[in-house]
Amino acid sequence: MQPFSRRRFITGACATTVAVAAAACSGDDSGGDEPASASNTPGTPAATLAETTIPVTTLAVPDTDLTADPFTLGVASGDPDSTGVVLWTRLAPDPLNGGGMAASAADVLWEVSADDTFTEIAVSGIATAVADEGHSLHVIATLAAGEWFYRFRVGPYTSAVGRTLVAPPPERSVEEVRFAAASCQKYSNGHYAAHRDIAEQRPDLVVFLGDYIYESAGADGADPADRVHLGPEPTDIVTYRNRYALYKTDPQLQAAHAVCPWLVIWDDHEVDNNYAGDISQDGDDPAAFRARRFAAYKAWWEHQPVRLDPPADASPDGGGEYRIYRGLTWGDLMQVALLDGRQYRDDQACGDLALNLAPACAEAADPERTMLGDTQEAWLLDTLRTSAATWNVVANQVVLADARLNGAVLNYDQWDGYPAARSRLLHALAKSAIDNLVVLTGDIHLAAVAELHDGDPVTGTPVGVEFVTTSISSSGLVGDAFTEVLKSFPELIDAELAHRGYVLHTVTHDQWSAEYRIVADVADPDSAVTTFSTYEVQAGSSRVST
C-alpha cells in the first residue's frame, strides 16, 4: 500500500494486535456513558435498527451540540493489510446540503470488537473530523488478521456496526477467499438490489472498479420519483460532496459497505465522462479542468475507505498527480494490483468515436500512446513479477481483451483504442511468465468473459483471463441483440448484455470460480438476484470452462 500519514487520527487510544481474548481495552461495570439510539448489525440500514444500551468503554464518548444523527452516510472499511484496516465514516446530519456540520472540528470515538455486541473493546480511540476534509474520518485500526466489528460514537449517536477483515500476512497459507467485483452504479438509472445481494452473500472483500458516482445532471432513471440526480453537474468540492452523499444515503449501498472491506479505484464518472489526464470530454480549458478534477479527487477520497493521504496540491489549477494505484496481498493466495486508467492516459484517439465501423485512424496505432503511463506500467509489471501468491490479479477499469470488429475500434475509450500499449503490456506479461493472471474489469455495463493472448487473439501465447462485470445499476450501452456479435470475437468466451449485477469470485489454490449474479429488475430494490452462469479457471491454465 502507499504510505499513509496518521497525523489526523489518534489523539487518545487503547490498542492491541493480539486476539481479543487478551484485549486490554475491554470495559467492565464502571462508567456511565449515554445509551445509544440503536443497536446496529452489519449490513442493516440505520432506519431499521432497534434501541438498546451500549456497553461501557474505557474512553468517554465525546460531547456534541448536534441535534440530528450525523451518521447518515453509514460506515465502511477498506484497504486491509496484515497489520490492520481503514475504518471510514463521515459526519453529515444534513447530507444533501453540504453535510450540515459547523466549520469547527468534531471528536468522534471509534471502537473495534471481536463480535458485534461490543462486550469487549479490542481497539478504540478518538479521531477528529475537520471541515476541510468534509468531516470525514479515515481511521487506521491496528489489528491481527481475521474478522472484526467496528462502530463510531459521538454524543448520544452511534453509527451502524460494520464488519471488516484484516488480511492474512503474505507468508500465511490461505485456503479460500470470496470477493465481489462491481462497478458503475448510476443512481438515476435504478436501485441497488445487487448491493443488497452482496451484503447477503457476506464476502471477504468487495473490489469496486470505478464509476461510483455519475456526474450528469437531471433525472434519466427507471424510477425518477425517487432516483433523481439533484442539482447541476458537479464541478467543485461542494457539489461533488453532495453527489456522493446522495449515493451514500442509499441503504443497500450502505449495507454492502458495512459487510466487508472494500478496495476502491475510480474510472471517469467520478470526474467527467471519458476524461483523459487533464483533458475533459467537452474540451474545457485545461487549467479550469484540473481545478475541477482536483475537487473531484478530494471528494472521492473523503467518501472512500482508502489507505491514502488526501490530495495535497493546493495550487490554483489543482494540477498535481494524485496516486491511487496500489497493491494488496491476501496471504499466499492472491496478489491484487489496483490500477488508475484515467490520470495518466493519452487522450482518446480518432475523436473518440463510438460504434464506428470504419478502420481505425493512424493516430490509434501510435506506439508512444499510453493508457497507464510509464511509471504505473513499470510498477504493475514489477508487482506481478515479484509476486509469491498463487493468483495474480489486476483490477482494471476498461476492457483489455481485443474487441475490434474487422479492424474497426468500436470503443476508443477502452484498450482497443490503445493497441500499442496493450500489446506492450501483454507481451511483457507473457515474457515474464506471470502465473495465474486474472484481470477484473468494469466500465462497459455488460458481462463478459475473455481469454487474453500475447499477439494474435487466436494463435498468440495465452496470458490470462479477464472477467468483465456488468453494472450495478447503470443502463446498458450495447443492446442485447448484439450478444452473439460479441461472442463471435476471438478472445471473448461468453457475454450477457441484458442485465445489471456483479461477479462473486471464489478463489482457492487450485481453482478460480466466477459466479455472474444478475438482477431481474433494476427498477425494483427488492428484485430477485440469481446466477446467470459460473466460469472456472484451473490453476496453471489460462483457459475458461463452465
Question: What is the pLDDT, as a whole number, of residue 12?
Answer: 34
In terms of domains, do 76 and 221 share one?
no
Q: Mean pLDDT over residues 337-341, rounded? A: 98
Q: Which H helix or E strand runs over 247?
A: helix 237-248
Q: Mean pLDDT over residues 330-336, rounded? A: 98
Rounded Cα gap, residues 438 and 452, in angstroms: 9
Q: What percent of the chain has pLDDT over 90?
A: 83
Rounded Cα gap, residues 129 and 123, in angstroms: 19
Question: What is the pLDDT, as a whole number, of residue 55?
Answer: 52
Question: How is residue 209 written as a grid cell?
Answer: 472498479
Where residue 357 falls among pLDDT bands split at 50, 70, 90? Answer: confident
Name which residue leads in pLDDT, 149 or 53: 149
pLDDT 10s digits, 411-452: 999 999 999 999 999 999 999 999 999 999 999 999 999 999
- CATH number of the domain enclosing 45: 2.60.40.380
Q: Mean pLDDT over residues 107-113, rounded? A: 98
In terms of domains, do 47 and 180 share one?
no
Question: What is the pLDDT, as a whole number, of residue 47?
Answer: 33
How many distinct structural domains can be found in the chain?
2
Question: What is the pLDDT, as a whole number, of residue 356?
Answer: 81
In terms of domains, do 194 and 56 share one?
no
Q: Which residues contact 479 (CB under 8 A, 6 or more apart)?
A: 497
What sign does the dihedral 243-246-468-309 (CA atoms) show? Answer: positive
73 found inside a domain = yes
Q: Mean pLDDT over residues 95-121, rounded? A: 97
Question: What is the pLDDT, as a whole number, of residue 220?
Answer: 53
In terms of domains, do 71 and 182 share one?
no
In terms of domains, do 366 and 504 share one?
yes
- CATH number of the domain enclosing 207: 3.60.21.70
Is 163 strand, coil or helix? strand
Give the domain-ending residue among 166, 190, 224.
166
Question: What is the pLDDT, as a whole number, of residue 90?
Answer: 98
300 found inside a domain = yes
Answer whether residue 9 shows pLDDT above 80: no
Name which residue leads in pLDDT, 203 or 478: 203
Q: Provide the 8-state DSSP code for 48.
A: G
Neighbours of 481 (CB within 10 A): 9
Where residue 355 falls among pLDDT bands split at 50, 70, 90? Answer: confident
In terms of domains, do 189 and 149 share one?
no
5 found inside a domain = no
In terms of domains, do 195 and 264 share one?
yes
Average pLDDT, the chain: 89
What's the one-letter identity of residue 406? Answer: N
Question: How is residue 113 written as a grid cell?
Answer: 470488537
171 found inside a domain = no
C-alpha 521: how far from chain center: 23
In terms of domains, do 220 and 139 share one?
no
Structural domain boundaries enclosing 429: 176-538
Question: What is the pLDDT, as a whole number, of residue 299?
Answer: 98
In terms of domains, do 142 and 259 share one?
no
Q: Mean pLDDT over residues 83-107, rounded? A: 97
In terms of domains, do 233 and 122 share one?
no
Where residue 29 falls among pLDDT bands split at 50, 70, 90? Answer: very low
Name which residue leads in pLDDT, 543 or 53: 543
Answer whether residue 321 shows pLDDT above 60: yes
62 found inside a domain = yes
Q: Mean pLDDT over residues 394-410, rounded? A: 95
In terms of domains, do 153 and 228 share one?
no
pLDDT 10s digits, 280-290: 999 999 999 99
457 found inside a domain = yes
In terms of domains, do 432 and 496 share one?
yes
186 found inside a domain = yes
Question: What is the pLDDT, as a whole number, of residue 14?
Answer: 39
Give the domain-ending residue among 166, 197, 215.
166
Give the domain-ending residue among 115, 139, 166.
166
545 found inside a domain = no
